């Protein structure tokens, strides 16, 4: 039996509305290059990853510039112009597009374009812990803050126990056939693990890193730059 391969799928069709920037946030400059380039460079340099697919909107006018002059990416990255209105749809469209290149039992690592702090060490840790797992899983961080449940007026109603709570990160890694089936059967979900959970399965939580933060708001950019420059 042929051993399973590992592929990366990067949904990058979002518009980054909360950043209030002049372009989608994945293309904002960060520590000397576009945010998405950091992600693509990391996967391209990781030996375990056979190939990386990035899913952008059909009207995307930025990805060509990101890849121009990056000769080391030419045979490691493929662009899929079938991004949808949601992450769920973009990932599913991407999975359908690569069906001819990826085996049913191959692993797919879905990663946020706006998590530029991912590194090869974290990818290797995820692959090592999940390669023999019957379900798959994701990087995540145990919740350490005290959690409050608020009301409509921002008044604290209760303190919520943080025991066994984790903040999901990416990559989220599942076998191709299972992930595609889960997303095709799920209602709108915000991450792949939710779709797997809806099948009654339990993805494994693999401890990630604070450096793998998601850039969502303007102040996140400065923190991400500190990690990328090795200051934080």
Bridge partners (DSSP) of residue 51 are 7
Q: Are 122 and 139 in contact (CB under 8 A)?
A: yes
Sign of CA dihedral 26, 30, 34, 35: negative
At 25, the pLDDT band (50, 70, 90 cuts) reads confident
The pairing of beta strand 49-55 with beta strand 77-80: parallel
Q: What's the pLDDT band for 232 if we cut at 50, 70, 90?
A: low
Average pLDDT, the chain: 93
How far lies 4's CA from each of 1, 12, 58, 185, 201, in Å? 9, 25, 31, 24, 21
How much is the average pLDDT of 187-191?
A: 93
What are the tens digits of pLDDT across the range 126-176? Answer: 999 999 999 999 999 999 999 999 999 999 999 999 899 999 999 999 999
Contact in structure between 174 and 203 (CB atoms under 8 Å): yes
- Whether 47 maps to a domain, the answer reads yes
Give pLDDT tens digits for 78-105: 999 999 999 999 999 999 999 999 999 9
Mean pLDDT of 228-232: 77
Quote the number of domains for the chain. Answer: 1
Give the pLDDT band of residue 192 (cuts 50, 70, 90): very high
Percent of the chain with pLDDT over 70: 95
Q: Could you read off the pLDDT of 208-226 as tens digits, one per residue?
A: 999 999 998 888 888 898 8
CATH of the domain at 30: 3.90.550.10
Contact (Cβ atoms closer than 8 angstroms) between residue 52 and residue 77: yes
pLDDT of 24 reads 86
Q: What is the mean pLDDT of residues 97-123?
A: 97
Residue 69 is predicted with a pLDDT of 80
- What band does 20 get if pLDDT is binned at 50, 70 and 90? low
* pLDDT at position 133: 98
Q: Does pLDDT of 19 surpass 60?
A: no
Residue 123 belongs to what domain range?
Answer: 6-228
Written as six digits, the tokens of 180 are 């595609």
Tell whether the model's pLDDT for residue 34 goes beyond 80.
yes
Supply the pTM of this predicted model: 0.93
Q: Is position 1 within any domain?
A: no
């Amino acid at each position: 039996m042929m051993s399973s391969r590992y592929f990366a799928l990067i949904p990058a069709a979002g518009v980054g509305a909360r950043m209030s920037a002049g372009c989608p946030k994945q293309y904002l400059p960060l520590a000397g290059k576009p945010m998405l380039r950091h992600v693509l460079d990391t996967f391209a340099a990781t030996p375990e990853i056979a190939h990386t697919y990035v899913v952008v909107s059909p009207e995307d006018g930025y990805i060509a510039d990101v890849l121009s002059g990056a000769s080391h990416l030419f045979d490691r990255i493929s662009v899929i112009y079938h991004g949808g209105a949601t992450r769920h749809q973009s990932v599913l469209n991407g999975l359908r597009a690569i069906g001819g290149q990826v085996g049913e039992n191959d692993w797919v690592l879905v990663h946020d374009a706006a998590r530029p702090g991912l590194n090869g060490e974290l990818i290797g840790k995820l692959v090592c812990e999940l390669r023999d797992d019957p379900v798959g899983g994701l990087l995540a961080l145990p919740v350490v803050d005290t959690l409050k449940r608020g009301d409509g007026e921002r008044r604290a109603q209760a303190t919520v126990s943080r025991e066994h709570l984790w903040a999901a990160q990416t990559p989220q890694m599942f076998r191709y056939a299972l992930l595609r089936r889960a997303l095709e059967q799920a209602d709108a979900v915000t991450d792949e693990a939710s779709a797997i959970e809806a099948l009654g399965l339990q993805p494994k939580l693999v401890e990630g890193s604070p450096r793998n933060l998601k850039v969502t708001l303007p102040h996140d950019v400065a923190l991400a730059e500190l990690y990328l420059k090795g200051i934080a």
